[in-house]
Amino acid sequence: MNIISYNLNGIRSALGKGFAEWLSSENPDIACIQETKAQPEQIDNSVFESLGYNCYWFSAKKKGYSGVGLLSKQKPDKIVYGVNNELFDDEGRFLRADYGDISVISTYFPSGSNDERQQIKMLYLEFFRKYIKKLQNVRKKLVINGDFNICRLWIDIHNPNQQQNTSGFLPEEREWFQNFIDDGFTDAFRHINNEPHKYSWWSYRAGARPRNKGWRIDYSIISNNLTDKIKNADILKDVVHSDHCPVKLCLDI
């Protein structure tokens, strides 16, 4: 099972930058998309269907904002749109596909761009953890892909000493992430790679990407019962259709 997770910062913009051609070459079994910034009717499914994908979209009510998607070569047994919470579902933040006893999730966590949004972000963190704990009772094998908008470890952000008061690297956010991992999950990339300076997002400002002044905020988090199935996990830093890059997970299933 080859899975790509990618915050496209606008799927229509990414398509104009060659995303479909790259997807055809990469050819994952599943692509989890975040920040589509589009309504389903604004996305040309035929582009992806011609590559053999079934298309699923869960968009925000606000046009041009947020939204997640999932492209799958195999038709899922079940698709679940949202988390049955109006606040978060109105922002299009969660999509789940079930394949046998494995569930693959595409999620886009809120960013703390201001005090109000930081409060909503913390609410989502609390809700998401409880939601996933409950889901684990019935779906034991979870593959959670997406933009968490949090750097989990000190090696996941440039200049960590200077960033501790910045949303995305706040102590309470990192504490939440560690508690989430302790609930029975594995950070797939960090399971096999402990090198610093491995990032998945760079600001458009001040030449951050060429200088690799980045953040690792995009993840594949898998339940511990799948850890021994990790064949490879990587960050595809040279793929450029967005201010993020794709992260890749290969499971031997």
Task: Give the pLDDT confidence of 190-242 residue by residue, as tens digits.
Answer: 999 999 999 999 999 989 999 999 999 999 999 999 999 999 999 999 999 99
CA-to-CA distance for 45 and 201, rounded, in angstroms?
26
pLDDT (mean) for 147-171: 97
Q: What is the pLDDT of residue 136?
A: 97
Confidence of residue 245 (pLDDT cuts 50, 70, 90): very high
Task: Report d(CA 11, CA 1) in Å as an integer.
Answer: 23
Q: How many domains does the chain have?
A: 1
pLDDT band at 52 (very low <50, low <70, confident <90, very high): very high
pLDDT of residue 199: 98
Q: Is 147 known to be catalytic?
A: yes
pTM: 0.98
Place of tokens 């990407």: 209
Q: Which domain holds residue 210?
A: 2-251
CA torsion angle for 36, 90, 221, 131 (degrees, to 10)? -170
Instruction: Write the CA distances from 139 to 22, 74, 96, integer angstroms.
Output: 32, 19, 11
Instruction: Answer yes or no: are the C-beta atoms of 241 and 14 closer than 8 Å.
Output: yes
Per-residue confidence (pLDDT) for residue 219, from 0 to 100: 98
Determine how β-strand 141-147 pairs with β-strand 218-223. antiparallel
Cα separation, 62 vs 9, in Å, equals 15
Stretch 95-107: mean pLDDT: 98
Return the pLDDT at 76. 98
Asked if residue 68 lies in contact with residue 34, where contact means CB atoms within 8 angstroms, the answer is yes
* Predicted local distance difference test score (pLDDT) of residue 181: 98
Predicted pLDDT at 160: 97
R_g over Cα of the chain: 17
Q: What is the CATH number of the domain that holds 43?
A: 3.60.10.10
Q: Read off φ and ψ for residue 205, nearest 5 degrees.
A: -90, 150
Residues 72 and 99: their CA atoms lie apart, in Å, by 10
Question: Which is catalytic among the residues 29, 101, 115, 147?
Answer: 147
Classify 62 as helix, strand or coil: coil
- The pLDDT value given to residue 241: 98
